Amino acid sequence: MAKGTITTMSCDPTTNGFQFTENYVLGPSGEELTMLDGTNTWQRTNVYVGGRLMATYDQAGLHFHLTDPLGTRRAQLSGNLTSSDQTLPLGQAELYCQSLPFGDQQSCTPAPNAPSSSDDATPLHFTGKECCLPHKSFLCSAAIAGNPACAPRRPLQQG
């Protein structure tokens, strides 16, 4: 949703005063590989193996995701090697996630002894897809059919 008046027809949304807050680099299957902020500053990169989200690299470092058989994230582990500026050793738990079936009421809590800098590295949780909270659906081809509020994110365009 946006406010304003379209004064000129253009393929460039900034012509009419719109500003993007996030940009995405998408993979060949439409998966979110990299997220950039509105000024195209890198925020995170996701790593996929066999079509499943395996890890996320962000400002805090590398994070591995452990999932259940459906693909719902249940834990996040540190992918950082212990050094003077990194507090978690490789493979130490950062977050534990739990939810009801189909991702309802999901919550992630910091693991014991996890530093306060441990973050939820990516919003991709249930089946590795981002939740569309207004419609309780997840961004995949079945969930977004005919649902503009949960449409796929705008990929980064070269221009």
Q: What is the pLDDT of residue 59?
A: 87
Q: pTM of the prediction?
A: 0.65
Q: What is the pLDDT of residue 39?
A: 87
Q: What is the pLDDT of residue 25?
A: 92
From first CA to last CA, the distance across the chain in angstroms is 24
Site of tokens 């996630």: 97
What is the residue-level pLDDT of the chain in tens, covering all 159 positions? 455 666 766 667 667 677 778 888 999 888 889 999 888 899 999 999 888 889 999 888 888 988 888 778 888 888 876 555 455 567 788 889 888 877 778 888 888 877 666 677 777 776 655 555 444 444 444 444 444 444 445 555 554
Q: What is the pLDDT of residue 61?
A: 84
Closest CA to 93 of 110, 71, 108, 73: 110
Q: What is the pLDDT of residue 43?
A: 93
